[in-house]
Chain A
């Protein structure tokens, strides 16, 4: 018996040791996330998994540092041209991964590409009137009106090479179909993509001719999407991967106690909310209501709002790791409306009364769409919300699906109500107003993620004023007004601010940025 125990101990020690030694000198860094970036095209999808991933490969004129402040990247410096716009001086000697040099013409091309009809990020350029190349390393972005926040708003505007795109017939981004840039990338960033197998794995290695000094000691990085969180945890615990984001909230306490691993916690800028089909003439998935859309009635929207017990969602589904939210941005964002900080109370009786007033005393059924691999516990939140809705007579027929299918479904208006999380890329309250609240308008590049086509004339009137106002107090007053309108009309049901929970082996040094972007060049394997 004793011998057996010693033998067992010896074997497990040997296994342990071999695991540690191999981890010590390997600089291959393996990481996993729940969502695979759908595309390698930086202008085709405005979503955090894509932009976050591509931030390692492509670069913008400016970039955000560890504290989320703007710092020079491809542009060495920039200055305001009075009220007309901004002039950017490009860094000299920057090359793309294929060896060609960066010029102002590439920036112009990237602007044309990113602001084209096919682009998903065109609303970033709503304030831009025109872009003019001054010389090889100088470029002007001329705006319709003074735009103090413009450099802040284009940190994720990534620069592509004109020749590379032209040679590979990828001069325009492609949202639905694929083109060359969907699977291949040619940026100026710290890492190059060496292999890409969509949905399976993506391999990167450092770019030898990068203009900046690399903080990281990684020689190879491999990203694997793992949809099942338990599988991801098992992979981390068994040493198959070095880092995972996010980990299931229920595993946080145990993970903290375990030796050899580290949990990285923070608050993300992302607010989770339910959106409505505001403009649809009828419900698409209802059994009992046809020919009309109850969600056009503000009382029905408020009934849905008050049926949700956000505190219960936060304490149970999110295990206390989230903050309830009353508006589309968290209180850490610039422009947060302190005057409108309180949520409507959870009150099922009031909900029932509102439904009865609106002519639906017995409630009605509708379709609720939900992603199941995008946000933390997204499907559980939807299931819990569905049962809360059911208590007031709102019979939500829940359909959950991976994001890969989710965004196309929403774009085709196949929903009555849907779940959305929004993290303002500019860290400013103006961002969600532009994307989620402004009336969708292709010409003006507004409301591109306003799937339910919410529309309010006063908001549309105030938005340009907010974008150009230089005086902080006046600007805040306008944001407050918009926030009030949104709350009064229940344009969305904001629920809570999502936490950031990452986990890694304890030999990994990394920086957790509040936009949930995982930046490889700050990762060190010890």
Chain B
């Protein structure tokens, strides 16, 4: 068993590169900590920031434990409502990551299917879909997301805003990021389509859908994985930006962006911890995911090694 694992490790290129890349390892560790902290937040967070009955306004704006007038119950202080900042950050990261993952999955499924079909079928479908993608690419992703978010808010009755906001955000961010997937997948599919294995599958009379999913898709997974990682960071940032602007998740369920927005109101008054800690969390998470994405890109691209 151990031997087999050693053999795999020796022969697996990705693992080999990873074991020799200190920065990627550090990034992976940080990303893992963020994800684990977020996923386990209901169990490891000192308190539940969503439970407004447990918040006491008298605990508001308490500084971190190493400063004066602090309170040992609140490791890195409290916000303006008396929420424990550490708990709020853990829960906020969870929400940010959840929205990020959901929307990137949505973008991935949409982009990959469109890209595969466009690349494999070509012709008019390809032309139309890719022009749409081009048009969307000329708009910044944040604008697309704001647009969809705004339209959804206008259409949905206000009572349902809170419950549907996560779905709306997912769709809004997903729709603004699918283009990257579609374009890359289409280009790779173009290359693969003319290779012998695809041609032989065609001659054997396989259904096009089967060819696309079973034969082409596994061979273009590398680039998809890279985009998935890099765009996850983008999705998390987009969610935070929308929440920062006040059009994201409902205010009583703070995501990182909401926490940063609250924090900015206290920037001039000396309560620095409300804005610094959530920002630091966001930066660390996004950078580590990005570094991982970069590592994957290099690993999958022989020319860059």
Residues of A within 8 A of B (CB): 228-230, 233-234, 237, 248, 250-251, 253-254, 285, 309, 312-313, 316-317, 379-380, 383-384, 386-388, 390-391, 397-400, 414
Q: Are B269 and A254 in contact (CB under 8 A)?
A: yes
Is A398 in contact with B269, judged by CB distance below 8 angstroms? Answer: no
Q: Please give the distance in Å from B71's CB to the nearest CB on chain A.
A: 14
- B198 CB → nearest A CB, Å: 55
Q: Contact: B251 with A384, CB < 8 Å?
A: no
Question: Is the CB–CB distance between B158 and A399 below 8 Å?
Answer: yes
A233 contacts B268, C-beta separation under 8 Å: yes
Q: Which residue of A lies closest to B60 (CB)?
A: A316
Report how far A248 CA is from B267 CA in the complex, Å. Answer: 11
- Interface with A: B7-15, B49-57, B119-127, B278-286, which one? B49-57
Taken together as a complex, chains A and B put the C-alpha atoms of A251 and B252 apart, in Å, by 25
Name 24 A/B residue pairs within 8 A (Cβ), A-sorted: A228-B265, A229-B265, A230-B266, A233-B268, A234-B268, A248-B265, A248-B268, A250-B268, A250-B269, A251-B269, A254-B269, A312-B58, A316-B58, A316-B61, A316-B82, A317-B60, A380-B81, A383-B251, A384-B82, A386-B52, A387-B52, A387-B56, A391-B53, A398-B251
Please name all residues of chain B whose beta carbon is closer than 8 Å to the beta carbon of A398 when the two chains form the complex: 251-252
Q: B270, A254: Cβ atoms under 8 Å?
A: yes
Total number of residue pairs linking A and B with CB closer than 8 Å: 70
Contact check, B270 vs A387: say whether CB atoms are below 8 A apart: no
B52 with A312: CB separation less than 8 A: no
Select B265's contact among A230, A317, A397, beta carbons within 8 Å.
A230
Question: How many chain B residues touch the partner (CB < 8 A)?
Answer: 25
Contact pattern, B 27-65, Cβ under 8 Å of A = 1, otherwise 0: 000000000000000000000000111011110110000
Please state if B57 and A313 are interface contacts (CB–CB under 8 Å). yes
Write the nearest CB–CB distance from B170 to chain A, whole angstroms: 22
Contact in complex: A390, B270 (CB < 8 Å): no
Q: Which residues of A contact B61 (CB under 8 A)?
A: 250, 316
* Whole-angstrom distance between the Cβ of A208 and the nearest chain B Cβ: 40
Main secondary structure, interface of A, reads helix
Mark out the residues of chain B between 256 and 283 whose CB falls within 8 Å of any chain A CB in the assembled complex: 264-271
Contact present for B52 and A390 (CB under 8 Å): yes
Cα–Cα, bound, A285→B80 (Å):
26
User: Complex Cα distance A285/B163, Å?
Assistant: 13
Kindly state whether residue B159 has any CB partner on chain A within 8 Å: yes
Chain B: minimal CB distance from A444 (Å)? 33
- Residues of B bordering A, CB below 8 Å: 51-53, 55-58, 60-61, 80-82, 158-159, 162, 251-252, 264-271
Is A230 touching B81 in the complex (CB atoms < 8 A)? Answer: no
Chain B residue numbers with a CB within 8 Å of A388 are 57
Q: How far is the CA of A299 from the CA of B159 in the complex (A)?
A: 27
CB distance from A6 to the nearest CB of B (A): 30
Whether the Cβ atoms of B268 and A251 lie closer than 8 Å is yes
B48 to chain A, nearest CB (A): 12
CA separation between A397 and B251, bound complex, in Å?
Answer: 11
User: A388 — nearest CB in chain B belongs to which residue?
Assistant: B57
Q: In chain A, what residue has the closest Cβ to B246? A: A372
Instruction: Say whether, besides A285-B159, A386-B52, A312 and B57 are in contact (CB < 8 Å).
Output: yes
Q: Across the two chains, which residue of chain B brings its CB closest to A315?
A: B58
Among B53, B251, B265, B267, point to the contact of A387 (Cβ < 8 A). Answer: B53
A386–B266 Cα distance when bound, in Å, is 21
Interchain CA distance A230-B268 in the complex, whole Å: 7
10 closest A-B pairs (Cβ-Cβ)? A250-B269, A390-B53, A387-B52, A384-B57, A387-B55, A390-B52, A251-B269, A230-B264, A312-B57, A230-B265
Does the CB pair A400–B251 fall under 8 Å?
Answer: yes
Chain B residue numbers with a CB within 8 Å of A230 are 264-268
A sample of 15 more A-B contacts (CB under 8 A), given A248-B269, A316-B58, A397-B162, is: A228-B265, A229-B265, A230-B264, A234-B268, A250-B271, A253-B269, A254-B270, A380-B80, A380-B81, A383-B251, A384-B81, A387-B56, A388-B57, A391-B53, A400-B251
CB neighbours of B57 from chain A (8 A):
309, 312-313, 316-317, 384, 387-388
A443 to B270, CA, bound (A): 53
Expressed in whole angstroms, the Cα–Cα distance for A262 and B269 within the complex equals: 16
What residues of chain B lie closer than 8 Å to A379, measured between beta carbons?
A: 251
Please, which residues of chain A bring their CB within 8 A of the CB of B269? 248, 250-251, 253-254
Residues of B within 8 A of A380 (CB): 80-81
Complex: chain B residue closest to A236, CB-CB: B268
Find chain A residues with CB under 8 A from B252 CB. Answer: 383, 386, 398
> CA A312 – CA B56 in complex, angstroms?
9
